[in-house]
Amino acid sequence: MQPVWLLPAVSALLLGASVAVYLPERKTPSKIARGLSLALVAVLVLSNGVSLILLVRGVFAGSNLAPGGLLLAGLALWVTNVATFALVYWELDGDGPESRSDGYPDYPDLVFPQQQADQQGLAPGDWKPMFPDYLYVSLTAGTAFSPTDAMPYSTRAKLVMGLEGSMCFVVLAMVVARAVNIAKG
């Protein structure tokens, strides 16, 4: 039996390390730090994909986990997926936090309501998205399977949001399938 807490724990550790690279009191991270951060995000997305395949296999082909353990693994995978894609959005939008700090180099990948001209006066004029904003985007995209308040404007943001929604949908479908399968009565 594999520990269901391992992937979420590693994800949380990598998330904390990656966010720490961008603490406000630090100078702009080097290209190496930025590359490391992007590599960590890629590893997390790939490991979530592998974990999703293992979950699907466990539901349909059988698993060493007890039914409750399989449900817990699905829930842990969904939470990890939301945290991972929050980090993806954080790194993706405007080419990352260091690029966003001085304004967007070109155009934003995600447009928040606070950035729209018709919403002026509802937030400070110098409002910029922070990590909790991207966590909210990821949570709503992983729950509603679509954008809710921050709209994806670039092709890459649309593809990432589609990937997250699809992965979360499959995870929840597997959890529901397993729950129906083990339901008594």
Q: Which residue has the tokens 């070109």?
A: 106
pLDDT at 14 over 60: yes
Residues 6+ apart with CB under 8 A from 2: 65
d(CA 66, CA 95): 43
pLDDT recorded at residue 31: 72
Instruction: Average the pLDDT over 141-145 and give the result.
Output: 85
Query: How many percent of the chain have pLDDT more than 90?
Result: 16
185 falls in which pLDDT band (50, 70, 90)?
very low
**What pLDDT, in 10s, does the model give residues 53-73?**
888 887 777 767 677 777 788
Lowest mean pLDDT, pick from 21-35, 99-113, 170-184: 21-35
Q: What angle do the packed helices 67-92 and 155-182 form, to 10 degrees?
A: 170
Q: Which of 101, 128, 135 is nearest to 12 (CA)?
A: 135
Is-contact 153 108, C-beta < 8 A?
yes
pLDDT at position 145 over 90 = no
pTM over 0.75: yes
Residue 77 predicted with pLDDT over 80: yes
* Residue 82 pLDDT level (bands cut at 50, 70, 90): very high
Least confident among 57-61, 84-88, 110-114: 57-61
User: Rounded to 5 degrees, what are φ and ψ at 8?
Assistant: -60, -35
> CB–CB of 84/41 below 8 Å?
yes
| Cα-based distances in Å from 80 to 4, 14, 15, 28, 95 | 11, 11, 10, 28, 23
